[in-house]
């Protein structure tokens, strides 16, 4: 019988008590990985309510009931020390850490002119700092192992960005900024850790979860027995692939995934270039060159490519 692709590997999935994280944890376990299921367990999608061990424990129990290996962690990944403890738990329990899937997040939506400082800070804290914290400790672990081994080791990071970063989301300036920051964190990490054998990639998933119930409230849910095109189960196989040995050459990439579709997003390309006829640009020259370029173009043409792919958020 052929070995499972993630057999002998261990993984952390953050925010894995519900929705996308749960589907991803179950998929990694199905592919053979031992999984640390992390979830702070607060009931509110805005990070409100009493933290609970329930969601993480339930998913870990579900994995074990299916014959897999899993342990629960209920700490807050936005807390630097608790993120350290999460990574150490995987190392202590399974001997090493091989895969990190960062998924934990909250929403506090508001238009930019109405958003409070606390609403901005909290979303950046959980999404962007949470991704940094776990990545920092996982990266240190892989670097130490690589030095001890005298060569590359196995390491995979899958981060969670969003189409809110790609195509804009008017009522989510904090969320869109955090998700854009996660892409920058991912590409920087990919460059820094490649020599140690570690890859880092980001996904922009579209799925019907507690976090997106408002976004997709106009989309009809399928009839009983039919798979929802917006089900998290459309996203989790890509995470399993990126976590696997098969994706060894996939590094520093951004991929959009939903409903049986995966799109690899190119880095921004230059759309137009203007050179001054003099030593330095003047206001008048810039006006003469740049203003006509936008004269006949529709609003938001910057995101036309995203719209063609069907990637526009919301």
Other CB atoms within 10 Å distance of the CB of residue 61: 13
**Active-site residue, from 154, 169, 179, 236:** 179
Q: Is 273 a catalytic site residue?
A: no
Distance CA 145, CA 152 (A): 8
Q: How far apart are CA 54 and CA 148, in angstroms?
A: 38
Question: Residue 281: CA atoms inside 13 Å, Cβ hemisphere, count?
Answer: 11
Determine how many CB atoms are found less than 10 A away from the CB of residue 189: 25
Q: What are phi and psi of 63, to 5 degrees?
A: -65, -45
Element (H, E) at 198: strand 198-205
From 10, 122, 146, 162, the catalytic residue: 162
**Candidates 94, 122, 161, 175; catalytic one:** 175
Q: How far is CA 156 from CA 47, 50, 310, in A?
A: 27, 32, 28
Active site residue 282: no
Burial degree of 274 (CB within 10 A; 0-12, 13-18, 19+): exposed
Task: Note if 94 is an active site residue.
Answer: no
Residues marked as catalytic:
162, 175, 179
């Amino acid at each position: 019988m052929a070995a499972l692709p993630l057999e002998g590997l261990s993984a952390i999935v953050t925010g894995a008590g519900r929705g996308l994280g749960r589907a991803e944890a179950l998929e990694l376990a199905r592919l053979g990985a031992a999984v640390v299921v992390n979830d702070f367990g607060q009931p509110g999608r805005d990070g409100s309510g009493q933290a609970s061990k329930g969601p993480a424990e339930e998913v870990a129990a579900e994995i074990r009931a299916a014959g897999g290996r899993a342990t629960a962690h209920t700490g807050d990944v936005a807390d630097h020390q608790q993120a350290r403890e999460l990574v150490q738990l995987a190392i202590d329990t399974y001997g090493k850490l091989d895969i990190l899937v960062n998924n934990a997040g909250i929403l506090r939506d508001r238009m930019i002119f109405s958003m409070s400082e606390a609403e901005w800070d909290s979303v950046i804290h959980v999404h962007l700092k949470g991704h940094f914290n776990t990545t920092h400790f996982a990266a240190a672990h892989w670097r130490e192992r690589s030095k001890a081994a005298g060569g590359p080791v196995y390491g995979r990071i899958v981060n969670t960005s969003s189409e809110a970063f790609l195509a804009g989301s008017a009522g989510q300036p904090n969320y869109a900024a955090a998700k854009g920051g996660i892409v920058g964190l991912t590409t920087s990490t990919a460059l820094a850790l490649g020599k140690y054998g570690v890859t880092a990639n980001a996904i922009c998933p579209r799925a019907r979860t507690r976090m997106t119930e408002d976004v997709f409230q106009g989309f009809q849910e399928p009839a009983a027995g039919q798979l929802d095109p917006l089900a998290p189960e459309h996203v989790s196989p890509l995470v399993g692939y990126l976590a696997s040995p098969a994706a060894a050459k996939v590094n520093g990439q951004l991929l959009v995934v939903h409903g049986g579709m995966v799109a690899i997003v190119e880095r921004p390309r230059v759309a137009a270039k203007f050179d001054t006829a003099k030593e330095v640009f003047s206001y008048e020259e810039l006006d003469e060159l740049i203003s006509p370029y936008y004269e006949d173009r529709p609003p938001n043409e910057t995101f036309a490519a995203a719209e063609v792919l069907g990637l526009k958020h919301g």
